[in-house]
Amino acid sequence: MSIHPASIPSPDPAWASFQLGPLTIHTYALCIIAGIFAAALITDRRLRQRGVEPWTVIDIVLWVVPLGIIAARFYHVFTHMSDYFYPGANLWNVFAIWDGGNAIYGSLIGGAIGAYIGCRRAGLRFWAFADALAPALLIAQAIGRLGNYFNQELFGNPTTLPWGLEILPTAPMFPEGLPAGTLFHPLFLYEMIWNLIGAAVIVLLERRVTLGWGRSLAIYLIWYGIGRSGLEAIRIDPTSDAPLGIPINIWASITVALIGIALFVIQTIRHPTPEPSPYVNKPVAVTHERDSAPPSDRDNAQRSR
């Protein structure tokens, strides 16, 4: 129950996980899975609109998801070294992804590698897939942020605003020295709203101007990098490494935004015309359809040339 008349209450710790027979189901993991499903469905729809065979996205997701999760976890671990490597530490905690701690920038690196491999195997242009994924990725991230809410692990500095977030003083991330009942900026909610607006911005821009060639992905990188750098500036995350006194996630966010700007400019210069087929080569299904035409039809086509 909320102890403030106007605030966002903490979720009951019991909601963070539940038992299903001998299995422990973590709400954080369910949010991540829900985000992945949403991204796959949206990306598949956008690819179909460009003429890609239905459910080709699954062949790519099978590469994207494992590599994205692995890279996300290790990015988090190596930017929070003191949480996992100290005298007497249980090194198995490095792999405890159900406790939270999966960095989006790591998932972008691993996911990009997986997408490249998957697109090569499926015969799709990498940029066509990346553009189809861009708004879907923001929606997936918004859904995934609910997992941070249940884990009580993504919040900002103390605030007196009426939408302040309550964090239980027994929560692992509750700052030392602050009294129980302190309200914090709900960064998980801020990022959810920012991401959903960003997804809408990309879709609207695609309807008004010709993008393609990775430019929708570039807008994603710019939008997310700018928003995340601002949120990280007020985030409470004392264990994150901070070169030059600036949290590493701010450095990463600025870098991501700059990469997005560079990608947009370079692709605009290199590809002033609309992107052709999303396939690198003509789809096999189309080729087979032509080859299976009756001989008389092929003969007529030849004579008409």
Give per-residue pLDDT as tens, 74-85.
Answer: 888 887 777 787
Query: Using CA atoms, how far apart are residues 220 and 230, in angstroms rounded to an integer?
Result: 16
Residue with tokens 């090194």: 91
Residue 97 confidence (pLDDT) above 90:
no
Higher-confidence position of 105 and 199? 199
Query: Using CA atoms, how far apart are residues 278 and 42, in angstroms rounded to an integer?
Result: 16
Under DSSP, is residue 248 helix (H, G, I), strand (E, B) or coil? helix
Largest Cα span, the chain: 87
Cβ proximity of 221 and 59 under 8 Å: no
Cβ proximity of 57 and 70 under 8 Å: no
The mean of the pLDDT values for the chain is 86
Q: Tell me, what amino acid is at 296?
A: S
Map 67-123 to HEC letters: HHHHHHHHHHHHHCHHHHCCCCCCHHHHHCHHHCCCCHHHHHHHHHHHHHHHHHHHC
Structural tokens at position 47:
């690819």
Strands (E) located in the chain: 17-20, 23-26, 165-166, 183-184
What would the pLDDT profile of 177-187 be if each residue is shown by its tens digit? 899 889 999 99
- Range with the largest mean pLDDT of 19-28, 86-95, 110-119, 245-254: 110-119
Query: Using CA atoms, how far apart are residues 107 and 126, in angstroms rounded to an integer?
Result: 17
pLDDT of residue 290: 40
Residue with tokens 């359809």: 289
Residue 300 confidence (pLDDT) above 60:
no
Residue 50 confidence (pLDDT) above 50:
yes
pLDDT of residue 84: 80
CA neighbor of 232 nearest in space, from 263, 269, 190: 190
Residue 54 confidence (pLDDT) above 60:
yes
pLDDT of residue 248: 83
Q: Which residues contact 33 (CB under 8 A, 6 or more apart)?
A: none
Residue 269 confidence (pLDDT) above 60:
yes
What would the pLDDT profile of 200-253 be if each residue is shown by its tens digit? 999 999 999 999 999 999 999 999 999 999 999 999 875 556 667 788 889 999
Residue 176 confidence (pLDDT) above 70:
yes
